[in-house]
Structure 1
């Protein structure tokens, strides 16, 4: 039986950050990753708060050296209406910019930096069983050759993302409060003119006839973009079943997307994701904790997934380090509850996006002074800053401002 201090499932952003932070604290970490890096992944638009954790892990200079696309905000489009947020105008402290990244490259940079610190990552290794009934959690894994083995650690962190290894193996899954939604997406060479749109901002466009259907356009630094559309299964059912044809048909219906992508080269197969929102009964248990999307995924609309994932890694490591040193810790009050505060803030904004309140605020002509800066701070990822009234009372404030804007 192989013995390690901590076993991490997954080498994506949350797994790489967590393993690096643990290694820097002197712990022996084994990462089991099901795929071979680099590999395609969705979620390319980072929020500024992400870089706080990249820096904490000692990886910021490596990320900055790649030459990723600079990002200073987000732009929303609805027909002829346009609203943009610049992170430099946000409420409170924090970073004013970040990057838009091809995740295949970004994730590999983080994983490589973790390995440089001494973290062992075993790629193409799937976790097939977990036992948390004993004194130490135990995992069974199979590598690319089909060889099976077991490893035991003092603690287990699930950073498996949408694979959701522990929630599935330990029956932790519970329905998301959000209605099921699907997405279709790809990356293309956009071929647009330099002034066709603001490449320093993620572009969010709303379908001209369905306000709960939206598109993203995330520019990269190499003349390519990530594009996609999110909608209900019922809406998508009206479009071609073949995903390439479906996304092309959807792009033609939205004027901004159609204009920007007029000369696009569709050189990458379109992919799909269904029912992506997910939740769990608990984010921790005996000998384990769940990080990022392995615990809960809300929705891609505000690009909050990686921010939540990285923050969960940082928070979990601080609690786990103390536990491994013999201190008594409270995972509910020191990890899950404070993490969920920010998740719940993002949840309020996702809810307001789909019921129309956020859009009413965004495009209102009589928007109350100071509101944009407070909302901008949340769009920058600072959803845990309770000095921000739109964090401390997210639901009530959103409802109040939406009514004022509609008056």
Structure 2
């Protein structure tokens, strides 16, 4: 690759495939630590993406990047909680994030704006960014270790190469490396289909629910309604793939018929008008059977994705990116710990994903009352019952169960001369600087 054409070197500490939230967060935090990072994305930002509603756990990595003030300055809509029509007889209820942890709010946002903000911050921190770049294949040495990538740039015919000590696949559902090196495990209980669009001039929820996301359950599925800004609402309908497959209706017909059956949503949409076409996605919940291999590691949707019921996707991706940046930084310093360090990352990440997935699967039982869902959350993250069940519910759906190993991965015993080198328990929390513990 010609370094004079782009003004960048040919070798990096890390190459990140994908400039979305997972990739940009990982790259930005590594660059902040003084590591050389190349990010390649096949799109030119800003670009459209679904997933406009965020949860408080997302604020942790954004604070590390120094971005919350910029989000407010850009006019992102603060999100203080959620309103649900869910459970036995579809009784309305709501929750407030302030009850669940250190972060009282997250945001609703147009993802094009959010993703550009994070990627621009990674660039500002020193990461090299090439957009309109399509990764074609990994480079591998004679032992099969991934040592870099081959890619093309839009409008140019020649193939380019870049090498690195480690390649991170953050390419989302494109799964550039994941597709080559791993298999997916689909979660049959969450094999759903979604159809969504946008409405202008809608009525907002009343009073202190004004900034809430609305989640409204019906007999065969559920709706989201996300107030992206003062005039536009994202509205999506999620149902079982099998339900759609057994019907003569189109997805749009399903959407319109179910809106007519809704209560809160129908009232919100009454004065509005649809301002965009329909988009669809299927089979959203999956899990890669491996999260890393020789010279490569997965983060974000390239690794796993869970049903969007509680808007966990971006938070899970950026939290994992934050944790991975700390681990990779230590691997660069001590290359001999790579396999064991990434094993701990994979185990913790997979466990955190499974905790969210299990809760979502059980929450889909709409025959219960809200107290059941509260108790379910307490059972999962607070078995000693140190807090009220309602607080545990908010903590869990905020992504802030900070005792989880995901937030406390220690590499002390792997680092030469580190505490507990002779036999510390894998993944045990540590008070030393090598711990990846996130601030609450």
Please confirm whether the aligned pair reaches a TM-score higher than 0.5, indicating the same fold.
yes
What residue number does 1:85 align with? 95
Given candidates 252, 266, 281, the residue that maps to 1:273 is 281
69 and 249 in structure 1: CA distance in 2 versus 1, 3 angstrom threshold? same
What residue number does 1:195 align with? 206
Range with greater deviation from structure 2 (130-139 or 377-386):
130-139
Alignment of 1:128-207 (within 5 A): 128-133=136-141, 134=144, 136-147=146-157, 148-192=159-203, 195=206, 198-207=209-218
2:331/2:341 contact within 8 Å kept: no
Q: CA shift at 1:129, angstroms?
A: 1.1
Output the TM-score relative to the length of structure 2: 0.80
Given candidates 10, 28, 35, the residue that maps to 1:27 is 35
364 and 381 in structure 1: CA distance in 2 versus 1, 3 angstrom threshold? closer
Q: Size of the alignment, in residue pairs?
A: 379
Output the TM-score relative to the length of structure 1: 0.86
What residue number does 1:216 align with? 224
d(CA) in 1 for partners of 2:58 and 2:373?
32
2:42/2:133 contact within 8 Å kept: yes
Task: Indicate yes or no: 2:11 matched with 1:3.
Answer: yes
325 and 219 in structure 1: CA distance in 2 versus 1, 3 angstrom threshold? same
What residue number does 1:334 align with? 344
2:76/2:107 contact within 8 Å kept: yes
What residue number does 1:394 align with? none
d(CA) in 2 for partners of 1:131 and 1:365?
48
d(CA) in 2 for partners of 1:103 and 1:61?
17
What residue number does 2:358 align with? 348
d(CA) in 1 for partners of 2:369 and 2:238?
21
2:13/2:166 contact within 8 Å kept: yes
Q: CA shift at 1:126, angstroms?
A: 1.3
2:363/2:373 contact within 8 Å kept: no
Gaps of 5+ in 2: 2-9, 379-386, 406-440
Deviation readout 1:323-358 (Å, 9 max, x if unpaired): 1112543234431112223212111211112244xx
Q: CA shift at 1:196, angstroms?
A: 8.4
What residue number does 2:272 align with? 264
Deviation readout 1:12-50 (Å, 9 max, x if unpaired): 111111111011111111111111211111111111110
d(CA) in 1 for partners of 2:290 and 2:139?
17
What residue number does 1:392 align with? none
SS in structure 2 at match of 1:141:
strand
Deviation readout 1:139-164 (Å, 9 max, x if unpaired): 12122114321211111111111212
Gaps of 5+ in 1: 388-407
197 and 61 in structure 1: CA distance in 2 versus 1, 3 angstrom threshold? closer
Given candidates 93, 96, 101, the residue that maps to 2:104 is 96
Alignment of 1:287-298 (within 5 A): 287-298=295-306
What residue number does 1:397 align with? none
1:180/1:277 contact within 8 Å kept: yes
1:319/1:331 contact within 8 Å kept: yes
Q: CA shift at 1:55, angstroms?
A: 0.9
SS in structure 1 at match of 2:364:
helix
Q: CA RMSD in A?
A: 2.4
1:129/1:169 contact within 8 Å kept: no
Task: Indicate yes or no: 2:326 matched with 1:318.
Answer: yes
Q: CA shift at 1:76, angstroms?
A: 1.0
SS in structure 2 at match of 1:30:
strand
SS in structure 1 at match of 2:344:
helix
Deviation readout 1:346-403 (Å, 9 max, x if unpaired): 11211112244xx61426699799211111101111134359xxxxxxxxxxxxxxxx
1:239/1:246 contact within 8 Å kept: no
Q: CA shift at 1:240, angstroms?
A: 3.6
